[in-house]
Every structure is written in structure tokens, then in C-alpha cells.
């Protein structure tokens, strides 16, 4: 029977600390701030067995996403200029907007789906999401798909 692999996107604050430390150890190895796995795990405070157990299963969201498309779902207030601020925010990170779909606002709140192409020159995806979340009038943001 084939192994069914499922992927989930989960906010950092919901992850157990060991997963975050594994990601940190991998970054130390990639940046050569740690030359061995033992040095990396010692620096972040986890065991080698924890590192080996999770190293192939946890990756930052933005890793290997360049040249891909992400689709974001939002709930936002129906206010003049808010959509323009959101689009400018994405443009400031040099991401290419592919599609936009906005529902008719109900009770002053619209649902928006936006697909963004991540280019080699695009800034950090996490920063883009955080900047959108910080806009006044944006109530909810979810990453719906990553292709």
C-alpha cells in the first residue's frame, strides 16, 4: 500500500519547540555556523536523535517556494483603498499577482482570494503574510494552496 503523504500549514506558535529547534539547527548547518550535526544540536539544545527524527519532515514555509504560486484567502473590511493597500503591499515584495477574486461584501466584509507568483526576486513570504495581517481591516488570512 502506498504511503499517503499529507502536508499541513501550521502557524509557528502552534508547533512544539523541538520542531523549531530542528529548523534552527538546519539553518546553522546550511550557513556553516555549525560544521557538524553535533555542533548544531548542541547550539540549539536538542538531541541528535530528535534532529534525525524530524529533519526530513519540517521545513520553513518559504523554503523551495521560488517560482511557485501561492493562493491566499482573506476576510477584509469593505473600505475604500484597503484592496489597493493590500496589492501595494504584495507589489512592494516584488511578487507577481496572477488572479484576484473578491466576493460581494456581506455586512461590510468581503472574502478575497488572491494567487501570487513567487519570483526569484520576491522577498520573504513570511514577511509578506505578516505585512498583510497587520493591515487595519484584514480580519483573517489563510494560505489555501501552494503549487
pLDDT in tens, 43-69: 999 999 999 999 888 877 655 455 688
**The residue to which cell 514555509 is assigned:** 61
Look up the pTM and report it: 0.57
| Cα 137 from Cα 85, distance rounded (Å) | 11
Angle at the Cα of 26 (from 20 to 31), degrees rounded to 5? 125
Mean pLDDT of the chain: 86
End-to-end CA distance of the chain: 26
Is the pLDDT at 95 greater than 50? The verdict is: yes
The pLDDT of residue 121 is 82
> For the chain, which domains are there?
12-54 (no CATH), 69-146 (3.30.70.260)
27-36, 53-62, 80-89, 126-135: lowest mean pLDDT where? Answer: 53-62
Amino acid at each position: 500500500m502506498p504511503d499517503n503523504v499529507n502536508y499541513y500549514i501550521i502557524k509557528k506558535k502552534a508547533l512544539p519547540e523541538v520542531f523549531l529547534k530542528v529548523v534552527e539547527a538546519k539553518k546553522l548547518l546550511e550557513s556553516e555556523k555549525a560544521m557538524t550535526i553535533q555542533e548544531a544540536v548542541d547550539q540549539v539544545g536538542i538531541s541528535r536523535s530528535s534532529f534525525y527524527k524530524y529533519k526530513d519532515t519540517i521545513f520553513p514555509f518559504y523554503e523551495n517556494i521560488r517560482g511557485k504560486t501561492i493562493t491566499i484567502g482573506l476576510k477584509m473590511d469593505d473600505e475604500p483603498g484597503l484592496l489597493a493597500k493590500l496589492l501595494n503591499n504584495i507589489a512592494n515584495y516584488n511578487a507577481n499577482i496572477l488572479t484576484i477574486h473578491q466576493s460581494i461584501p456581506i455586512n461590510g466584509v468581503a472574502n478575497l482570494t488572491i494567487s501570487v507568483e513567487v519570483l526569484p526576486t520576491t522577498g520573504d513570504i513570511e514577511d509578506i503574510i505578516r505585512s498583510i495581517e497587520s493591515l487595519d481591516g484584514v480580519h483573517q488570512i489563510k494560505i489555501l494552496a501552494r503549487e
